[in-house]
Amino acid sequence: MSKTRIAFIGAGNMAASLIGGLRAKGLEAAQIRASDPGEETRARVSAEHGIETFADNAQAIDGANVVVLAVKPQAMKAVCEAIRPSLKPDQLVVSIAAGITCASMNNWLGAQPIVRCMPNTPALVRQGASGLFATAEVSAEQRQQAQELLSAVGIALWLNEEQQLDAVTAVSGSGPAYFFLLIEAMTAAGVKLGLPADIAAQLTLQTALGAAHMAVSSDVDAAELRRRVTSPAGTTEAAIKSFQANGFEALVEKALGAAAHRSAEMAEQLGQ
Ligand SMILES: NC(=O)C1=CN([C@@H]2O[C@H](COP(=O)(O)OP(=O)(O)OC[C@H]3O[C@@H](n4cnc5c(N)ncnc54)[C@H](O)[C@@H]3O)[C@@H](O)[C@H]2O)C=CC1
Ligand SMILES: O=C(O)[C@@H]1CCC=N1
């Protein structure tokens, strides 16, 4: 990414995570700019990452080859329509907004090369997971630029169909929240079983970390790792049987279905 110049439109949580990842990967501060209406947000991002920030989106875009749209989905239409006159045809637009389709963006921006992607908040600690989709107008070099942008903060996987981004949103975009919910519930259950709150929290967190490390580094799948914890007629079996008798897998499938459905619904509602 030696010559890439990236402009972030919106300098909130996700933009700051991506900027941090790019800086850690060796991108120079002069290669990155950001714009945001929030004065405090601009000051924070400038101070943390040494980059130049602007209140005016057009100023950030000027001279960039990649323009990252990192505003809330509800703000996308207004932001796209406002920046349209500032964009050059060869500037790659990368959107991280949930539920905003490439077709909607092309309506608002004109015929711009677009990569739509769905990162997640572990990007903040360089452990993110992103799905990416490119429109036909995106060149091989621009695909590479988008790949390098997202892989600065974790894994970045390409999809052949844009619709699959609804499923990516359900699995990994929203996914960190499901694990946090499980951490909350396990900690609370540990307290109910008689543990001090700080001990229940530490045991839960280290178990989550240990299990994730094992699952990532092991050459067997999660089902086999689970089997190895589960002694016949033992404690794990009692817990797993209880989970399954209460419809655990169906519950997870339904929850992810709700997230994917909401992603598609947002595309309908916000894409007009
Ligand atoms: N938070 C998450 O877990 C994930 C969020 N996303 C997507 O990332 C996008 C950004 O989300 P966050 O960073 O969490 O939100 P955020 O609220 O932290 O950041 C959005 C920023 O956009 C700025 N903004 C508002 N209007 C603007 C304008 N006209 N021009 C320039 N900047 C403007 C706001 O001041 C704010 O700083 C959203 O579209 C969301 O769907 C994607 C994956 C995961
Ligand atoms: O909840 C949301 O809509 C966003 C997209 C994925 C994670 N957060």
> What is the fold of 175-266?
ProC C-terminal domain-like fold (1.10.3730)
Please tell me the number of Cα atoms within 13 Å of 257 on its side-chain side: 6
Ligand 2 is surrounded, with C-beta below 6 A, by: 98, 169, 173-174
Ligand 1 is surrounded, with C-beta below 6 A, by: 9-15, 35-38, 41, 57, 70-73, 75, 79, 96-98, 118-121, 173
- The H-assigned helical ranges of the chain are 13-24, 39-49, 57-61, 76-83, 102-109, 140-151, 164-168, 175-192, 197-217, 222-229, 235-245, 248-270
pLDDT the model gives residue 2: 63
Please tell me the number of Cα atoms within 13 Å of 164 on its side-chain side: 10
177 Cα nearest atom in ligand 1: 3
Specify the 3-state DSSP secondary structure of 64. Answer: coil
Q: Tell me which CATH code domain 6-166 carries.
A: 3.40.50.720
Q: Are 97 and 264 in contact (CB under 8 A)?
A: no
Q: Is 247 left (phi over 0), alpha (psi -120 to 50) or beta?
A: left
Model confidence pLDDT, tens digit, residues 70-121: 999 999 999 999 999 999 999 999 999 999 999 999 999 999 999 999 999 9
- The full set of domain ranges for the chain reads 6-166, 175-266
Tell me if domain 6-166 and domain 175-266 are identical in fold.
Answer: no
For ligand 1, pick from 72, 83, 95, 127 the residue to mutate: most ligand atoms within 8 Å of CB. Answer: 72
**CA distances from residue 121 to 8, 28, 178, 206 in whole angstroms, order as listed:** 17, 23, 12, 19
The DSSP symbol for 68 reads E
What is the pTM for the complete model shown?
A: 0.94
Where residue 271 falls among pLDDT bands split at 50, 70, 90? confident
Model confidence pLDDT, tens digit, residues 158-208: 999 999 999 999 999 999 999 999 999 999 999 999 999 999 999 999 999
Interface pTM, i.e. ipTM: 0.97
